[in-house]
Amino acid sequence: MQPTAVSLLCGAGGFDLGLERAGFKIIYGIDIDETSCQTYRHNFSNKVVNEDFFSVNSEDIPQSDLIISSLPASSFSTTVRYSYKSTYTYNEKVRYEDKVYEIIQSKKPKVFIIEGHKNFAKEHKFNSYLDLLKSIGYRISCEILNTKNYGIAQNKDRLIIVGVMDQLNITFKFPLKHSEIVPLKDVIKVLDHIDNKERKKISFTNEKRWNGYREINLEGVSPSINPMTMLIFKDPSNPSEYFTLTWKEVAAIQSFPDDFGFEGTIKSKLKQIGNSFPPQLAYLLANELIQILKQDIQNYSDNLKELNEKKVENDSLRKDINLPIESLKSFEKESGSPNLFSESVGFLQQEQQEQQEQDDYQDLKDLIGKPNDLLYQLKELQAGLESSEAYKKLIFRCFNYIFSESLKRGRMEFGMNSRRKRIDIIFDNHANSGFFYFIRESYKVFCPRIIIECKNGGSDPANPDVDQLMGRFGKDISKFGFLTFRRIGNRKKFMDRCKDVLAQSGNYILFLVDDDIEKLINLKMNSDEEGILDYMLVLWDELTIN
């Protein structure tokens, strides 16, 4: 079942976009800003309420696996906070974090995230607030993250508080920092579009010229984007004049995709972008939470399976010896005999598990030996989150079939970094010929293992999908991997992204879509290993030759 999320103080939906791309289903959002809600409705299909946050009753908020809330920066200024007659005593100073706590305490989600200005961590009540969250049954993890460390060309600190329900017995681990800093020149191309009609030309004549303006350096990262700051760059033909960035460029720096639309005036769009949480960082955080919820589902499934197995075994024993289980236990207790019942159950469980493993292996072996079945499933399997696990298993089987001579010891959901991260599929590279031998020996690519990340979405993968695969590379793992997905719309744009990864980090990413896999399966069916090599080398040349 798809995990659900409620978004408090959702704004234009920056955090929600990251959640959705990680696999969450947003079921409810709320924000007081009408234009932000219009933007939200333009980009999301779920319900968003345009209301005062403090007037909302917890009972009106739907139950969900995750609650996410942003805390406005004004919450932590020295000015008087807000008071609302509708819910709170007249003139009482009301704080956003207190209202968020009230909702979390009422709804008891499995996990929550609270994000806000780093100054909150400096307040005298901060540790008490964390203790309060712990007291209602959550393990708390807290860090100040800088966006530049997570593939975002911006120097912005955000305080992140994550709570995981004590019952899950899991502590949240923050995503690993990226090894490379992404410069602005890789995100925006302002010098190619100086004459954009949305730009303003600005000339400074006094010492107060920088009031409200921040100059960017395309070789570095952007200053923190916020509603109070206008980003500008120097006119290369006249150093005394500057141009403003367009709202689309500012959105790109904030890691919004090109197709994310903003409603309202240009001023309103810039305000919404400045108030937003970077979607790419949201995706990385959400992906860690997805792993926690998957583990919770797996634990529940394992426990349920174990209970069902015991029930079946107990019923079988009753049938075999015509004695109730209680009589067996009573006999053992009175006679002092060994616990033959428990031993029998353990033996039966082990035997059943071994048989299941043999059945699974035989099923896999049968399927790998039937390439027409692979082609049929590739054609029939629908794109979407609901069938993502089936797609992952299908890709595993396809690689097993196509590269059977080179790739060995295939594993799915392979844990790394103390199991904080999982690789969808990983193979050991045992190639003595063919493509994987070629890149290892001729290009000296470090690839003792081949990493595969699978995306079953209906559109082109976004930057966070590439960043997720980048996070799986390492000096002890591999510097080569595949990203598989269903189809490609803008091949050149996505290939350019893979080229950027290679130029910045030295990591190699090839992508395969359904058409590629179908062609490779057909080549394998014809025992055309040379054809497979040629096909893969065309993809390799596309990546490595400018």
Residue 214, H or E segment: strand 213-215
Q: What is the DSSP string of 182-194?
A: PPGGGT--GGGGT
Which pLDDT value is given to residue 8? 95
Strand partners, 82: 94
In this structure, the strands spanning 25-31 and 48-50 are parallel
Task: Give me the pLDDT at residue 306, please.
Answer: 56
Degrees (nearest 5) of the Cα angle 217, 493, 517? 145
Where helices occur in 23-68 by DSSP H, the ranges are 34-43
Instruction: Give the HSE-up count for residue 420: Cα atoms under 13 Å, Cβ half-sphere.
Output: 13
Reported as a pLDDT band with limits 50, 70 and 90, residue 233 is confident
Do 4-175+279-295 and 369-544 come out as alike in CATH topology? no
Distance of CA 45 to the CA centre of its chain: 20
- Tokens 């595949």 locate to 482
Of residues 504, 502, 513, the one with CA closest to residue 480: 502
Least confident of 293-297, 324-328, 406-410, 417-421: 324-328
pLDDT tens per residue across span 147-181: 999 999 999 999 999 999 999 999 999 998 888 88
pLDDT of 165: 95
Task: Tell me the pLDDT tens digit for each residue of 95-120.
Answer: 889 999 999 999 999 999 999 999 89
Answer for the pair 168, 292: CB distance below 8 angstroms, yes or no: yes
| Residues 6+ positions from 285 with CB-CB distance below 8 Å | 18, 113, 160, 162, 174, 175
Angle at 496 between CA 502 and CA 441, to 5 degrees: 35
**Position with higher pLDDT, 88 vs 291:** 291
Q: Which of 205-209, 319-323, 439-443, 475-479 has the lowest mean pLDDT?
A: 319-323
Backbone φ/ψ region at 424: left (φ over 0), alpha (ψ -120 to 50), beta: alpha
pLDDT given at position 9: 94
Higher pLDDT, 453 or 469: 453
**Averaged pLDDT for residues 184-207:** 73
Is the pLDDT assigned to residue 243 strictly greater than 70? yes
Confidence check: pLDDT of 296 > 90: no
Amino acid at 363: D
3-class DSSP assignment, residue 87 = coil
Sequence-ordered strand ranges (E) for 109-194:
111-116, 138-146, 157-165
Q: Which fold has domain 4-175+279-295?
A: Rossmann fold (3.40.50)
Residue 232, pLDDT > 70, answer yes
DSSP letter, residue 349:
H
pLDDT above 80 for 312: no
Residues 448 and 131: their CA atoms lie apart, in Å, by 46
CB-side exposure of 489: number of CA atoms within 13 Å? 6
* Alpha carbons 3 and 347: distance in angstroms, whole number: 36
Strand 25-31 relative to strand 4-8: parallel, antiparallel, unpaired? parallel
> Residue 222: what pLDDT?
93
For the chain, the domains span 4-175+279-295, 184-274, 369-544
Whole-number Cα distances in Å, 14 to 272, 349, 441: 9, 48, 44
Instruction: Give the separation between CA 201 and CA 452, rounded to whole angstroms.
Output: 47
Nearest-Å Rg of the Cα atoms of the chain is 28
Q: Where are the alpha helices (DSSP H) in 227-368?
A: 247-253, 266-275, 279-321, 325-335, 340-368
Task: Count other C-beta atoms under 10 Å from residue 476's C-beta.
Answer: 8
Cα 10–11–16 angle (5° rounding)?
A: 50
165, amino acid identity: M
pLDDT given at position 191: 59
Q: What percent of the chain lies above the pLDDT cut of 90?
A: 43
DSSP count for the chain of H helices, then E strands = 16, 16
In this model, does residue 79 exceed pLDDT 60?
no
In this prediction, residue 305 has a pLDDT band, given cuts at 50, 70 and 90, of: low
- What's residue 195's pLDDT? 67
Buried b (16+ CB within 10 A) or exposed e, 228-256: ebbbbbebeeeeeebbbbbbbbbbbbbbb
Residue 326 tokens read as 């209680």
Q: 158-162, 209-213, 300-304: which has the highest mean pLDDT? A: 158-162
For 127, the token pair is 């540790």
* Interatomic CA distance for residues 519 and 68, integer angstroms: 43
Could you tell me the pLDDT band of residue 519, with boundaries at 50, 70 and 90?
A: very high
DSSP state of 206: S
340-368 and 279-321 helices, crossing angle to 10°? 120
**34-55 tens-digit pLDDT:** 999 999 999 998 889 999 988 8
Classify residue 56 by burial, with Cβ atoms within 10 Å: 0-12, 13-18, 19+: middle
* Distance, CA of 463 to CA of 478 (rounded, Å): 20
pLDDT, position 474: 80
Reported as a pLDDT band with limits 50, 70 and 90, residue 382 is confident
pLDDT of residue 81: 38
* Cα 175 from Cα 282, distance rounded (Å): 11
Q: How far apart are CA 48 and CA 288, in angstroms?
A: 25
CATH architecture of the region 369-544: 3-Layer(aba) Sandwich (3.40)
User: pLDDT tens, 490-506?
Assistant: 888 889 889 988 888 88
Segment 438-451 shows an average pLDDT of 90
Q: Please, what is the average pLDDT of the chain?
A: 80
For the cut 90, the answer to whether the pLDDT of residue 67 exceeds it is: yes
> What pLDDT was estimated at residue 150?
92
Confidence bin at 192 (pLDDT 50/70/90): low
Q: How many CB atoms lie within 10 A of CB 344?
A: 15
**Alpha-carbon separation of residue 453 from 126, 286, 473 (angstroms):** 39, 17, 11
For 80-99, the pLDDT digits (tens) are: 333 333 332 323 445 889 99
Stronger pLDDT, 14 or 194, i.e. the higher one: 14
